[in-house]
Every structure is written in C-alpha cells, then in structure tokens.
Structure 1
C-alpha cells in the first residue's frame, strides 16, 4: 500500500503556521516543540518545519507505506536516489529520495 497522506513545508515559524491554520480553518494542530507543528485536515496532514537545519527547501510530499525497507528497495530499483537514509521521528520512520526528474519526496511508515 502506498498513499500520499502528508506534506511538509518550510516555515519561518512552525508555531505561527499552526496557529494560522487553526484560526483560519479550524484544523487540529499538534505542536512537537517550537520548531515543528502538524496540522490535520480531511485525511491529510501538513507539517511545518522551522528548524533551519531540518527545514526542506521546498514542500516535501510524503508517501505512507507499511513496509519501509521494501519501499526503499522499490525506489532504488526504479531509478530513484536515496538522499536521506531511513531515520526515526515522532510517529515512525522515513527516508527521503529524489526521483529521476529531480523532485525530492519521502516515504514513511508509522511506528508499530
């Protein structure tokens, strides 16, 4: 199973981004410290990263899977380049990759 269910955005202030979407649309906000906030809306979660060392340079679309090692193998076999090896984060594990056209995406698996 592979489905897009998350997009991460760079933010000058993760707190301000979360507060905006909560006030504007009533979406549920979960802060994970001062530099990261999740905003949940209609089956999709938006993450806002303000830590300069971790902030993506562009929106990062994230694909959910139940088998992270198999997804990594499939990405490499299809010609993708792994740009960040699998790592843990609150909620699960993920890796980043660049597809042959140059866009960076990520694949994640929830914590068991």
Structure 2
C-alpha cells in the first residue's frame, strides 16, 4: 500500500529541488505560475502519509483480535487503500507539468478574454 506514496515522495523531492533552483536563479514568476499544482501534490503527499499511518494502526488493531472494532479498522484500511491507489498516483500529472516548466497559464494575456 505504501509504494504509490514512496514514488510520489521521491518525485516530489526531485521537483522541489528543481523549482528551488529556478527560484535561486531569479525565475520567480515562471516558477510560481503553477504553484497550485505543487500545493496539490504536496498536500496529497501529507494526506497520503496520514492515511498510511492510520492503516498501520488499523492493522495493529485488527491484530489484537477485538471483533467489535473489526469493521472500524477494515473501514480505515479501505479508505487508506482508496486514497493511496486512486488519489496519490494522480499527482504525477501535476508533477509532470511542473517538471516541464509548462507556461500555458503564464502565457495567457488579459486582452485575450
């Protein structure tokens, strides 16, 4: 269950270092043009980490054998599985746009509206 999150963390680190390098070279406007994508990927990384942590605790709870709590723990595991399988991998699209330094939004002009 943790593999998608590990892959996202590794790619996010690479993208972050690249963007920090761009900022250090003074490319502030172009670097921040797609900042919402970065924030989404970073936020999903944090939420994914929290779901993974809850899944670990749920597995520990299931291991204690208390059948009254079984449904609760199974629900936690399923929710974590959903987020890590469906939501986390989708962030690679955002990171690809950031890696490519796409300027589609930045290139838009007010007079084109």
* TM-score of the two chains, using structure 2 as the length reference: 0.22
Who wins on radius of gyration, i.e. which is larger?
2
* TM-score of the two chains, using structure 1 as the length reference: 0.22
Q: Which has the higher contact order (CA 8 A, sep 6+)?
A: 2
Query: Larger % of helix: which?
Result: 2
Query: Larger % of strand: which?
Result: 1
